[in-house]
Chains A and B, each alone.
Chain A
Amino acid sequence: GQNIDQPTEMTATEGAIVQINCTYQTSGFNGLFWYQQHAGEAPTFLSYNVLDGLEEKGRFSSFLSRSKGYSYLLLKELQMKDSASYLCAVRDGLGDYKLSFGAGTTVTVRA
């Protein structure tokens, strides 16, 4: 089966940096995604990694190591609006768009 692990909760101060780790063991690998989900809202796409290395998009960066089954999402210059759940998801097939999600990491940003 698919196994995707990420911490349950993290707390950080406004303006700081937080790193959310994700480890995965899946039957296949065709990309890793990070989504942000505010309470009561839809998950929104943040980043996508399919090759090893770092992808940077503004204040958010995501890293992937396929050999280690490991990724992280880095949030810089935290803002109060960044308080949300962050979901790590792996696409394991080529023919469909099935994503296997972790349970999510709830990040709380404090003033």
Chain B
Amino acid sequence: ETGVTQSPTHLIKTRGQQVTLRCSSQSGHNTVSWYQQALGQGPQFIFQYYREEENGRGNFPPRFSGLQFPNYSSELNVNALELDDSALYLCASSSINSPLHFGNGTRLTVT
């Protein structure tokens, strides 16, 4: 069973730039969620995708957007990066009656 994989593991960007993070779901899972985890905090829900459509969103501005592909992989895009966007970005996949399974995350640093 292949787990959730994310790329890249680390990324450094400059304020104002755009970034794309990628995630491959665990096999058999059709739902993907993205979370932002600041240092010393719990993960914060960004949004969730099911059947290639967003079906839940947290308190994040529209410059955070995403995609889910037919193979259930996903992307998180962040435009106009701000310093406060520096965090660990976690992707999690799930299916009905299964808990969230998280990837190891992408550590984004905005300078």
For chain A, residues 81 to 102, give those with C-beta under 8 angstroms from any C-beta of chain B. 87, 89, 93, 95-102
Residues of A within 8 A of B105 (CB): 42
For chain B, residues 26 to 45, give those with C-beta under 8 angstroms from any C-beta of chain A. 31, 33, 35, 40-45
Asked if residues A42 and B102 are in contact (CB atoms below 8 Å), the reply is yes
Asked if residues A103 and B41 are in contact (CB atoms below 8 Å), the reply is yes
Say whether, besides A42-B90, A43-B102, A95 and B41 are in contact (CB < 8 Å).
Answer: no
Asked if residues A98 and B102 are in contact (CB atoms below 8 Å), the reply is no
Docked CA distance A99–B44 (Å):
8
Asked if residues B41 and A99 are in contact (CB atoms below 8 Å), the reply is no
Asked if residues B101 and A45 are in contact (CB atoms below 8 Å), the reply is yes
Residues of A within 8 A of B90 (CB): 42-43
Least Cβ distance of B84 to chain A in Å? 17
Asked if residues B56 and A48 are in contact (CB atoms below 8 Å), the reply is no
Partner of A42, one of B48, B94, B103: B103
Partner of A48, one of B42, B45, B99: B99
Residues of B within 8 A of A43 (CB): 43, 90, 102
Is A72 part of the contact surface with B, judged by Cβ < 8 Å? no
Asked if residues A42 and B56 are in contact (CB atoms below 8 Å), the reply is no
Is B109 part of the contact surface with A, judged by Cβ < 8 Å? no
Partner of A101, one of B4, B44, B103: B44
Binding site for A on B (CB under 8 A): 4, 31, 33, 35, 40-45, 48, 50, 55-56, 58, 90, 92, 94, 99-105
Using A45-B100, A97-B100, A98-B45 as known contacts, list a sample of 13 further A-B pairs with CB atoms less than 8 Å apart, ordered by residue number in A: A4-B42, A42-B105, A45-B99, A45-B101, A87-B42, A93-B56, A96-B48, A97-B92, A98-B33, A98-B48, A98-B58, A101-B44, A103-B42
